[in-house]
Structure 1
Amino acid sequence: MKHPVAKSVGWALVHAARLHRTRMGERLAALGLFPGQEQVLQALATTETLTMGELAALLRVKPPTASKTIARLALQGLVERRTEPGDARVVVVTLTEEGARRAASIEGLWSEVEDELLNGLDGKNRKRLRKLLRKAAKNLAGAAEGEGLEEPDDELEETAA
């Protein structure tokens, strides 16, 4: 049975995104991670240190959500939290050695799942699809900005490409 809006670009995008997230979830489970946690590890692997506020902004989540994720990763020994010298209100997060190892493993998993996702598309079509998706995201971010919501960070888009 086909979904009523199966010809919709939005439906196709949501469907592909759900399948991608499920597939990544299966792969991440082998590393003892849940979907979303890999984004934190990858962000810290590229910047080494982030405050909780910076992390929440980068991931486009509310600070309590970022805090819960960091707490779970800290229990696994993948990140360390410490307060900023001189301002105990600011919490700084860094990767542990094990966190860095897992972050490196995530790159390989991401590439494998992306190859599965884009199987049958040549380099030109992959680049075109990436460009079209970025344009669509920018359109939605502009609409959200008009409603008082924050625009997504282009830097995160680059790391996800």
Structure 2
Amino acid sequence: MKHPVAKSVGWALVHAARLHRTRVGERLNRLGLFPGQEQVLQALVGGRTLTMGELASLLRVKPPTASKTVARLAAQGLVERATEPGDARVVVVRLTEEGARRASSIDNLWNEVENELLRGLDNKDRKRLRKLLRKVARNLAASGTADGAMGLDDDPDDMEDTPAVASVG
């Protein structure tokens, strides 16, 4: 039996996104991570230090959500929190050595899922799909809050024609 909106582009998009997130979640589980935690690790790659507010903004979540995620990652020894010198109210977050190692595994994970996702699509199709997805995201962002528009102007398709790899940061 077909879903009543099976011919809907929105339904197809939601279905594909759920399948993608499930595949990523399965692989993250193997690394001892839950979906969403990888975004924190990737945001801190390269010795980056962010305040909790900056991290929440980058991840497009509320500060308590970012704080809870960071607390769980800190309990695993993947990030460390410290107060800002001169202002103990400001908490900064950075990766530990183990967090940096785990973050490097995330790139491989994303590449594996990306290859599954785009199997059978040539570079021209991949580029067109990226452009179309950014366009529909801009359409929705323009209809709602400004938060949804973050990062939509970054167009790697203006660069050389290579497959894109999803990452945060």
TM-score by length of structure 2 reads 0.87
**Pair 1:154–1:94, CA change in 2 (3 A):** same
How far residue 160 of structure 1 moved from its aligned partner, in angstroms, is 2.8
Give ranges in structure 1 of 5+ residues lacking alignment: none
2:81 alignment partner in structure 1:
81
Give how far 1:153 is off. 2.0
Tell whether the 8 Å contact from 1:83 to 1:89 is kept in structure 2 after alignment.
Answer: yes
RMSD: 1.9
- What does residue 25 of structure 1 align with? 25
CA contact (8 A) 2:80 2:95 kept: yes
Q: 140, 144, 147: which one pairs with 1:150? A: 147
- What is the identity, as a one-letter code, of the residue corresponding to 1:123? N
- Per the alignment, in what secondary structure is the counterpart of residue 33 of structure 2? coil
Q: Does 1:138 align with 2:144?
A: no
Aligned counterparts, 1:13-92, within 5 A: 13-46=13-46, 48-92=48-92
User: Which aligned runs of 4 or more in structure 1 are off by greater than 6 angstroms?
Assistant: 155-159
Q: Deviations over 1:73-126 (max 9, x none)?
A: 000000000111111111100000000001100000000001101110001111
**1:154 counterpart letter in structure 2:** G
Deviations 1:124-155 (A, max 9, x none): 1111101111111111111113xxx5343217
- Aligned residue pairs, count: 158
The one-letter amino acid of 1:153's match is: M
Tell me how far apart the structure 2 counterparts of residues 43 and 152 of structure 1 sit (CA, whole Å).
18
User: What is the alpha-carbon distance in structure 1 between the residues aligned to residue 74 and residue 113 of structure 2?
Assistant: 26
Q: Gaps spanning 5+ residues in structure 2: where?
A: 157-164
Structure 1 CA distance, aligned partners of 2:16 and 2:105? 23
